[in-house]
Amino acid sequence: MAHPSIVILTGAGISAESGLGTFRDEGGLWAQHRIEDVATPEAFARNPQLVVDFYNTRRAQAHDATPNAGHTALARLQAEYDGDVLLVTQNVDSLHEKAGSRDVVHMHGQLDSALCGACSHRWSAPLKMTVGEACPRCSEPTARPDIVWFGEMPYHMDRIEDALSKADIFAAIGTSGNVYPAAGFVQMASYVGARTVEMNLDPSETVALFEETRPGKASVTVPAWVEDILGQ
């Protein structure tokens, strides 16, 4: 029997119970750092050491973190639905991969990857990046974290939009709905008649656009939702 095609979008909330900070919750990353100091191309040009240190700290935290039941449930769904699930994440940690997910679409980049600002070559980032690191391909001293900063284009949008145009189900998990284009995915899915569900600790900015909401912690709501989907 053909499975419904499912697009899942995750945000920082799915990694909260794995000990990684979110951005906009009480005491979150944007309470500790100004976005314009650590998460824009201008910030990197102005003070690359501050930016490199910010991502080195987050990379070390993510490196030591372990996936929670929310990540594990999504990996199980992908395995059982073999190819009919597109897992898109705004997160730059690799907890979905550590939980066994394959083919995770990192639309905001990822901490484990480094990018050359000159030739766009990508390679596996060392745990601690340094400023002025040489690109292994073009040798320019232009290595940077492979993170999509504010003002830059998210990655893989064509693939994401194509999947949304064919979605039967769209689920958003652990995201506040503050940042576009991700916050607009629910409208694109609704437009093609997909069922939409939000699983979030607090209602997101876009909660009114979802047909169904399952409030609570991802480690509880996501496994329950996956059980419901697999039981259909």
Q: Amino acid identity of 217?
A: K
Instruction: Establish whether 104 is an annotated binding residue.
Output: no
Instruction: Establish whether 138 is an annotated binding residue.
Output: yes
Instruction: Establish whether 175 is an annotated binding residue.
Output: yes
Can you tell me the distance from the alpha carbon of 228 to that of 167, in angstroms, rounded to the nearest whole number? 18
Shortest reach from residue 107's CB to ligand APR, in Å: 8
Instruction: Establish whether 26 is an annotated binding residue.
Output: yes
Nearer to ligand APR by Cβ, of 125 and 174: the residue is 174
Q: Identify the residue whose tokens are 């679409």.
A: 105
Shortest reach from residue 28's CB to ligand APR, in Å: 5
Name the phi and psi angles at 111, rounded to 5. Answer: -65, -30
Q: Name the residue number minimizing CB distance to ligand APR.
A: 13
Active site residues: 108
Pairing of strands 122-124, 109-116: antiparallel
Nearer to ligand APR by Cβ, of 70 and 135: the residue is 70
Closest C-alpha among 146, 119, 141 to residue 130: 141
Nearer to ligand APR by Cβ, of 131 and 220: the residue is 220
Shortest reach from residue 10's CB to ligand APR, in Å: 8
Nearer to ligand APR by Cβ, of 69 and 169: the residue is 69
Can you tell me the distance from the alpha carbon of 105 to that of 150, in angstroms, rounded to the nearest whole number? 18
Can you tell me the distance from the alpha carbon of 108 to that of 146, in angstroms, rounded to the nearest whole number? 9
* Interface positions with ligand APR (CB under 6 A): 11-13, 16-17, 22-25, 28, 90, 108, 174-176, 178-179, 200-202, 204, 217-218
Shortest reach from residue 75's CB to ligand APR, in Å: 17
Name the H helices within the chain.
13-16, 29-32, 35-38, 41-46, 48-64, 69-81, 95-98, 157-164, 185-191, 218-231
List the binding residues for Zn(2+): 116, 119, 135, 138
Binding residue positions for substrate: 55, 58
